[in-house]
Amino acid sequence: MNTDPRFKCLFEPVKIGPVTSKNRFYQVPHCCGMGHAYPKSVSAIRAMKAEGGWGVVCTEETEIHPSSDLAPALEGRLWEARDIPAFAEKTAAIHQYGALAGIELSHNGLHAPNMYSRETPLAPSNTLVDWGAPINAKAMDKTDIANMRRWYVNAAKRAQQAGFDIVYVYAGHDMSLLQHFISKRHNQRSDEYGGSLQNRLRLFREVLADTKDAIGDRCAIAVRLAVDELLGEDGISAEGEGYEIIASLAEEPDLWDVNVSGWENDSQTSRFSGEGYQERYISFVKKLTSKPVVGVGRYTSPDTMVRLISKGVMDLIGAARPSIADPFLPQKIEQGREDDIRECIGCNICVASDNTSTPIRCTQNPTMGEEWRKGWHPETIAPARHVEQILVIGGGPAGLEASRALAARGHEVTLADSGLDWGGRILNESALPGLSAWKRVRDWRVGQLEKMSNVEMYLQSEMSTANVIEFGATQIVLATGARWSKGHYKDITVFTPDNIMADKLPSQTAHVVIYDTEGFYIGALLAEKCARASIKTSYLTPAAMVSAWTVNTLEQHRIQTRLLECGVKLIFQQRLIDATSSGLEISCVFTGETQILDCDALIPATLRQPNDNLWHVLDIENSKDPIAASITRIGDCLAPTTIAGAVYAGHRFARELGETVDPDKPSFKREG
């Protein structure tokens, strides 16, 4: 190994109760949008992390009983003995690489609507479930509490039978019944389980003790606790009850996994927080306990990791999103290949997959979620059956990833882009407020390409039809991206999102209106940029909120707050009918009632058009005077998508080139 001496401490073993982690890299529990429905896919994801060098690899949150049914979300499910074999497959897959397997057992209380099981939801006090459903959760009586304690013990025993080394007692993210009992917001009881903090902590203490008694001699018992809910005096805080809980139970579990709550705080996007943003909330924990402490903060820098260990902030470096972006992060540090780490960009596309109950994906790592379905590995790719001369036109996310993966297969690759720098849309979007970390998508791929001897890269190279034909490649790949449409508005000044990203802004005396029907991040970022340039700005959308789809990336609330703080006027549930010199004609999405909105300049964030002119020209040439090359469009040039989608498209093209693909069958293995 060529491990940098500075990083040796990261590979020291850590004793966790009756088990020992081989190093300090700890993949904390995280969801993957597949859960109990796709167990083989989930096992393959966890196995890949173990192969990549993580000392501990945990599952997603796992339901312990039908009264904790999270449907339609797809999480783990360990209700009864018949569920054990699927988890045993996971632990076997993790153990084969010398990692410990952890499971986060959970009863989600008032967060579980039980839409599948149709059991009555349970909570400390009478309340609505927090799933947006018109269903009440029942205030638990003493029989319910006794049942709950038994359900936790039974689930823990099943977890031990399945081969897990670490079993969680979970009280985090405002999604756990145990946290609901601790919380004075949710617990209005007047018996011995309510009132004072020690009373509200009683059920947690009991479940923790029960679990230790049941399996603690063979399995480590971990507690995942939100030590701060970022609610001040209205919630648990690091200066208040969070501190008291740790002090009270300091030596009880075998490991403390500490974070902030809820999930939107714990997994903040890079748009609103940097690496290590949780440190100031959790740094007190290690001072109160001798037991190992793990925390998270989207850590990708080994220097930061060493600092956390040496300062005594934590004993194990926790990660969810960084382990998704690069399952081999620990191995790369151990081998002295820090420059090869795919650093997480904090975009939360992975989180969105769980929130939409769809297989996990990652902007940086296009193989994520495809380990079992397609047999993809993030670090290896099959050599080409026949080496080809390949011309890739366009150095954005699809073109960069296609070139990198094609070259890794052994093809001779030439990459050409008309711009002054690599990155395409990544360069433009990463310059918007808060998105600087997104440039890592470009930087990692350019860094990898520059190490490859079978790649030639040319900037400021506009490829004409004649150039393409003259080049003589056997494969031509068009990754020329897309452009934002101006629409068909003739009687008003129109700026496209591309104009704004290129710093071609309206006059400061103008009233600019962003019309957002895409609903992701661009519209709000354009509004923020204009407002920060002291331009009077309004945000118009047919949706009921700003950037509606970002509910799935856990940042919608922060985005809307940011626009309000910037003084942007928000206009919801209105469609743009027409734009004239008098202003914008808009209509209510419900009644159709129209009104005129004052406007000097319009920015429509509505539709992107593929930059596919070269494709159409080459297609005409092909019909008149066929050329030998095969021509393929990928990424936004084929169909505009997310950056994650464009990277995936480039990777998929490289994987499938020269392979037999049946267009009449799914391109992946199916479960069930």
Residues 108-142: pLDDT tens digits? Answer: 999 999 999 999 999 999 999 988 889 999 999 99
Domain 486-606 has CATH 3.90.660.10: no
C-alpha span between 413 and 575 (Å, rounded) = 46
What is the three-class DSSP state of 482? strand
Catalytic residue among 69, 174, 266, 636: 266
What are the C-alpha distances in Å from 565 to residues 183, 184, 505, 560, 605? 30, 30, 21, 9, 21
| Residue in 30, 31, 168, 219 annotated catalytic | 31
The band of 672, judged by pLDDT with boundaries at 50, 70 and 90, is: confident
**Angle, helix 202-215 to helix 142-161, in steps of 10 degrees:** 30
User: Average pLDDT for residues 404-410, to the nearest whole number?
Assistant: 98
Residue 262: CA count within 13 A, CB half-sphere: 11
Nearest to 612 by CA among 645, 628, 635, 629: 635
Q: Is 31 a catalytic residue?
A: yes
Collect all residues with Cβ–Cβ distance below 8 Å to 234 and sequence separation of at least 6.
Answer: 185
Active-site residue flag, 170: yes
Residue 170 has pLDDT above 60, yes or no: yes
Query: Which band of pLDDT confidence, cut at 50, 70 and 90, is reported for residue 427?
Result: very high
Please tell me the class of the 389-483+610-656 domain.
alpha beta
Q: Which of 173, 180, 186, 651 is catalytic?
A: 173
Q: Which helix (H) or strand (E) holds 569?
A: strand 569-571
**pLDDT by residue (tens digit) across 241-294?**
999 999 999 999 999 999 999 999 999 999 999 999 999 999 999 999 999 999
Work out the pLDDT band at 623, boundaries 50, 70, 90.
Answer: low
* Chain position carrying tokens 């920015």: 603
Residues in the chain: 672
Task: Specify whether the CB–CB gap between 63 and 70 falls below 8 A.
Answer: yes
Domain locations in the chain as residue ranges: 5-346, 389-483+610-656, 486-606
Residues 332 and 25 sit within 8 Å (Cβ to Cβ): no
Euclidean distance between CA atoms 403 and 422, whole angstroms: 12
Q: Give catalytic status of residue 266 as yes or no.
A: yes
* Strand, helix or coil for residue 631: strand
Q: Which H or E run contains 476? A: strand 475-478
Strands (E), 271-328: 293-295, 316-319
CA–CA gap between residue 104 and residue 169 (Å, rounded): 7
Contact 84, 162 (CB under 8 A): yes
Note the pLDDT of residue 618: 82
pLDDT score of 355 more than 80: yes
Q: Measuring CA to CA, which residue among 223, 351, 231, 345 is closest to residue 281? A: 231
Helix, strand or coil, per DSSP, at residue 193: coil
Catalytic residue among 26, 38, 170, 515: 170
Please give the structure tokens belonging to residue 574. Answer: 């209105």
The pLDDT assigned to 621 comes to: 53
Which residues make Cβ contacts (< 8 Å) with residue 214, sequence separation at least 6?
A: 153, 156, 157, 160
Fold of 5-346: TIM Barrel (3.20.20)
Residues sharing a CB contact under 8 Å with residue 337, sequence separation 6 or more, in sequence order: none
